[in-house]
Structure 1
Amino acid sequence: MSYGEPNNPYGAPQQQPSGPGYGYPQQQPPAQQQGYGYPQQGYPQHPQQQGYPNYPGGAQVPQSMPGLLVTARVFLFIIGGFQIIVGGIMLLAAVGSGALTSSQLESAGLSGISPDAVTGIFAALGLLFLALSPLSITLGVKFAKGGNGVRITTIVYGAVGAAMGLLALVGGGFAGVLWLVFSGIMIAACAQPSGKAWFNRPRY
């Protein structure tokens, strides 16, 4: 037997194939690490949101009062102050009209109206303006923390003001234009989606 035969027990040992033997773990190339800040696979992503979570309507809830609502709030305070001034003037006119005579009323173009009726009209208008002024101011204050009831009340209040302004405008009064503008802004501010989101926002 020669040393070159494969079955010769006295021959030279056969060369083992290169690489790790059976049973040894195979070396794997190191997994590439993802950079810092990249999301890991398998986890849901939550993009950062600004503001509060969405309310049931789906609109983003603002953190601060929208600009148009701020304008409507200022108008409510202005209207409240105006109503106090006009109400006081009307009551003073009611007191002064008690001294008027029928001839003076006729010369002023109010023929057929008694002095008592004029006094009653001025007094009623004065009390009406004075009664509405707390409502205007209260609505303006409630814009900060009020809920959906404040929004609906402001819309109804603005609609009534717009109707009064339209009547005043038909009668030739320039003040009717101001009432229409103020009332229109109040209605638009409370009816738009950002206004709804503000009044329906969660309160913790």
Structure 2
Amino acid sequence: MSFGDPNNPYGQPQGGQPGYGQPQGGQPYGQPQGGQPGYGQPQGQPGYGYPQAPPVQPYGGGYATGPTEMPGGVKAARVMLFVIAGLQVLGAIFGALAAVGVAKAKDDPALKDDVQFQQVADLSVGAVWAIAFLILAWGVLAIVLGAKFSSGGNGIRVTTMVFGIITAVLGLYPFVVVGLVHTTLAILITVFVGKSDGGEWFNRAQR
């Protein structure tokens, strides 16, 4: 038996002919032809064990931080808070002066027949001082809220809206004459802070 015999099926194949168990074309089994991906590997996709990068998440998905600059409406609301605070300080000063004046003039014989003055005097000096203190405290609250606009969260936004609603109501009653400016400013503050851009600002991711 000769391995060079072309009729021998067990001999070495000659002339580039594939042997037994070998596919035509010279490629062994298990290896794809023409650079095709192997079995179990999808075409055009990275191999197993190499995950793709996650997609970019929209605002609120943990990647974006929200607006980086305070919206114009929120800036305007903060300025209005400071204006209300200034008006409250002026009101507290007038209230304190009224309390001092009542204390000095309460026992003046010349004013005992003055009905209007007696009505004010009946409130007592302590009540006038209490009103002056409340006016001043409301102004301090306006300053604190305005100062927190840069770093405050949604709690500051909700508190500011409540502040604006209460101030608007008090401007209508009982302080109708002197409270019209307060009412106008308070309504604008509530609207500007309550808008969608205001919500995005106060709900942004804090650094």
Normalising by the residue count of structure 2, what TM-score does the alignment of the two structures yield?
A: 0.63
Which residue does the alignment assign to 1:203?
206
Which residue does the alignment assign to 2:81?
76
Give matches, 1:47-66, under 5 Å. 54-55=59-60, 61-66=66-71
Q: Report deviation, 1:118.
A: 4.0
Which residue does the alignment assign to 1:95?
100
Q: Report deviation, 1:178.
A: 0.9
| Distance in 1 separating the partners of 2:122 and 2:172 | 29
| Distance in 2 separating the partners of 1:167 and 1:176 | 8
The one-letter amino acid of 1:179's match is: H
Which residue does the alignment assign to 2:184?
181
Counterpart check, 1:141 vs 2:147: yes
**Root-mean-square deviation (Å):** 3.0
Which residue does the alignment assign to 2:111?
104
Gaps of 5+ in 1: 1-22, 24-41, 48-52
| Distance in 2 separating the partners of 1:105 and 1:194 | 58
The one-letter amino acid of 2:116's match is: G
Aligned length: 153
Counterpart check, 1:193 vs 2:180: no
3-state SS in 1 of match to 2:186: helix
| Distance in 1 separating the partners of 2:60 and 2:144 | 26
Gaps of 5+ in 2: 1-24, 26-44, 46-51
Q: Report deviation, 1:176.
A: 2.5
Q: Report deviation, 1:72.
A: 0.6
Which residue does the alignment assign to 2:11?
none
Q: Does the aligned pair in 2 maintain the 1:55–1:197 contact within 8 Å? A: no
Aligned structure 1 segments of 4 or more residues deviating by more than 4 angstroms: none
Q: Does the aligned pair in 1 maintain the 2:67–2:200 contact within 8 Å? A: yes
Q: Does the aligned pair in 1 maintain the 2:99–2:129 contact within 8 Å? A: yes
